[in-house]
Amino acid sequence: MKHELWTNEGGLDLFCLAGPRGDSARKMLEPDYRLVWICDADSHFEAMKRYYAFRNWGEYQTDFPAQDSKTYKELGWE
C-alpha cells in the first residue's frame, strides 16, 4: 500500500496511508503542509522502517512485532 509523508515549515511530519484510508489523518493538516515523499509497503512495520530510513533516524523498533508485521492483506485491507 502507498504511504505519504507530509511535512510543514516547522519540521512536523504526518506519515499516513495514501488514498481513502489516510483521508481522516490528512484532514487534520494545516495549509502549510506539503507532500514530500511517497513509498510502498506491505505492512505497518515495513512502512515505518522505510520512513525511519528516509529520515535517517536509525533502525525502527516496535513493541508490537506480531501485530505490526502483519501484512495489510492479512488484515483484510487490500
Q: What is the pLDDT of residue 19?
A: 96
Note the pLDDT of residue 78. Answer: 72
Which amino acid is residue 57, in one-letter code?
W
Give the helix/strand (H/E) hosting 16.
strand 13-17
C-alpha cell at 35: 507532500
CB 39 within 8 A of CB 3: yes
- pLDDT for 18-52, tens place per residue? 999 999 999 999 999 999 999 999 999 999 999 99
Q: What is the pTM of this model?
A: 0.92
DSSP, collapsed to helix, strand or coil, labels residue 7 as strand
Q: Which residue in this structure is represented by grid cell 519540521?
A: 11
